[in-house]
Amino acid sequence: MFLLIIVGFFIPESYPQSPAPSGILLSEDFDYPASELLKAHGWTAFSGVDTNSITITSPGLSYPGYANSGIGNAVFLTTSGEDVYRKFDSGDTLNSGSIYVSALIKVISAGPWVNNFPTWDYFLHLGNGSTDYGALLFVSSNESGFRFGISNKPNTVVGGRLCNFNTTYLVVIKYSFIAGNSNDVASLFVNPSLLGSEPSPDASYSGWPSVDLSYVDRIYLRQGSADNAPTLIIDGIRVSNSWGDAPLPVELSSFGSNVRGQNIILNWSTQTEKNSEKFNLERKTIATNWVDIGAVKAAVLSNSPKQYSFTDKNLQSGKYQYRIKMFDNDGTFEYSKVIEAEVAIPNNFELSQNYPNPFNPQTKISYNIPFDSKVTLEVYNITGERITLLVNEEQSAGFYSVDFGSSVRLTSGVYIYRIVAIDKITGNNFSSVKKMMLLK
């Protein structure tokens, strides 16, 4: 999956750091062999170490339209044992704005429903290595299923909608820094729309009791207190400081162009790539449908920003639209946004030297006309005899080229080509003559 984002400015500085850079802070698909321990793959055990160590389980979880769906395996969390954390891959520490964590979660069992009350326990949250946690994601059984819950403290919970066991949910938790004390907000989204902007949360927690985090630099997976704790499978974790990057898969704003004469240079960048295969470039004009103009191989797997470029050459004056069809190696694809670029009409009349020169048997003659003109282009031999009339028509302002050589029988020697262009409006004449050489 491609994650196209404007590459942000990175300010190297020890924590805390603000404002935060944009983009993916962490992406975890648990693409590791089943039954290996999670702490062997970039996560650090810090509590209950070596007891019920969190283990890779197969298969992974899938959710339609979610970027980290169906890649590799998942992890299994049980009712007590080792807890782990992982610092953001980006190395960022955040102390302003909001942090979003999206994940696929399938709950198998949860703390019991006792005397008409849920018994909650939490298993996923944000933090910074201290004992203060933020955006704690809870779960408890309920009348006929379970509910996710959200809080900024381990002992006060706001519950979300009723959910079904053994079903994969896309869950987003959000921690928002708010100026002032004990007022940061934690929010919960269950199966939010993946089309467009951030919806209203299913549930929000703010206020006392809360200990606002001084900064956030990691996420935690926790195996709970046995009596109240769930068993569940979690997969496809994605952390960002924008809704547009977690949970949404693609932010396509890094695609741009530069125009150099008749060439349009397309530039784009990816922040991270997973399973990416190639970028197909497509072009459209007012008069034509989308056509393939080339492909660029992708990095396949990358956690660092990558820059790409493709040059669409020798274009006629006019407006062009471009888009990128981004293929994953499972054959799925996604389109970028569409950008527009324009090749301007030339400033001056110009007859270029033919290329190649000397030539055998064929060469190309190019010329530019800045106004709509009546154009003739003729070729003579060295004795002044006209060999052929290559162009004889009214042409719009623009860039032109015409092939010479293959359709006439010629002997080696010098030839002369001459253009005459008459401005249709002013009647002004432009003419130019150049030599070329056929060498057999």
Question: Which residues contact Ca ion by CB under 5 A?
Answer: 29-30, 60, 71-72, 178, 183-184, 212, 235
Q: How far is the CB of 32 from Ca ion (least distance, A)?
A: 9
Q: How far is the CB of 111 from Ca ion (least distance, A)?
A: 26
Nearer to Ca ion, 106 or 434 (CB): 106
Strand partners, 392: 376
The SS3 of residue 112 is: coil
Single out the residue of 238, 219, 18 nearest to residue 127, CA to CA: 219
> What is the rounded distance in angstroms from the CA atom of residue 204 to the CA atom of residue 260?
52
- What 8-state DSSP symbol labels residue 21? P
Q: How far is the CB of 129 from Ca ion (least distance, A)?
A: 19
Both tokens of residue 231? 């068993």
Contacts of 289 (CB under 8 A, 6+ apart): none
Q: How far is the CB of 181 from Ca ion (least distance, A)?
A: 6
DSSP assignment string, 324-357: EEEEETTS-EEE---EEEEEPPPSS-EEPPPBSS
Nearer to Ca ion, 83 or 184 (CB): 184
Residue with the shortest CB distance to Ca ion: 60
Nearer to Ca ion, 146 or 175 (CB): 175
Radius of gyration of the chain (CA): 32
Burial class for 12, CB neighbours closer than 10 Å (0-12, 13-18, 19+): exposed
The SS3 of residue 323 is: strand
Which residue matches tokens 């002997």? 411
Which residue matches tokens 């979880």? 61
Both tokens of residue 101? 């964590």
Nearer to Ca ion, 213 or 341 (CB): 213
Which residue matches tokens 């793959």? 41
Provide the residue type at 113 as one letter: W
Nearer to Ca ion, 228 or 241 (CB): 241
Contacts of 163 (CB under 8 A, 6+ apart): 107, 145, 146, 147, 148, 169, 190
- Give how far the C-alpha of residue 399 lies from the chain's centroid of Cα atoms, to the nearest Å: 35
To the nearest 10°, report the CA torsion of 220, 226, 227, 231.
Answer: 70
> What is the rounded distance in angstroms from the CA atom of residue 138 to the CA atom of residue 190?
12
Q: How far is the CB of 303 from Ca ion (least distance, A)?
A: 16
Q: How far is the CB of 304 from Ca ion (least distance, A)?
A: 21
Q: How far is the CB of 74 from Ca ion (least distance, A)?
A: 5
Nearer to Ca ion, 239 or 365 (CB): 239
Nearer to Ca ion, 60 or 398 (CB): 60
Nearer to Ca ion, 215 or 349 (CB): 215
End-to-end CA distance of the chain: 53
Nearer to Ca ion, 69 or 336 (CB): 69
Q: How far is the CB of 45 from Ca ion (least distance, A)?
A: 20
> What is the rounded distance in angstroms from the CA atom of residue 245 to the CA atom of residue 202?
19
Q: How far is the CB of 69 from Ca ion (least distance, A)?
A: 8
Q: How far is the CB of 237 from Ca ion (least distance, A)?
A: 9
Q: How far is the CB of 250 from Ca ion (least distance, A)?
A: 18
Q: Quick count: other Cβ atoms within 10 Å of Cβ 64?
A: 8
Sign of CA dihedral 208, 213, 219, 221: negative
Nearer to Ca ion, 71 or 94 (CB): 71
Nearer to Ca ion, 70 or 145 (CB): 70
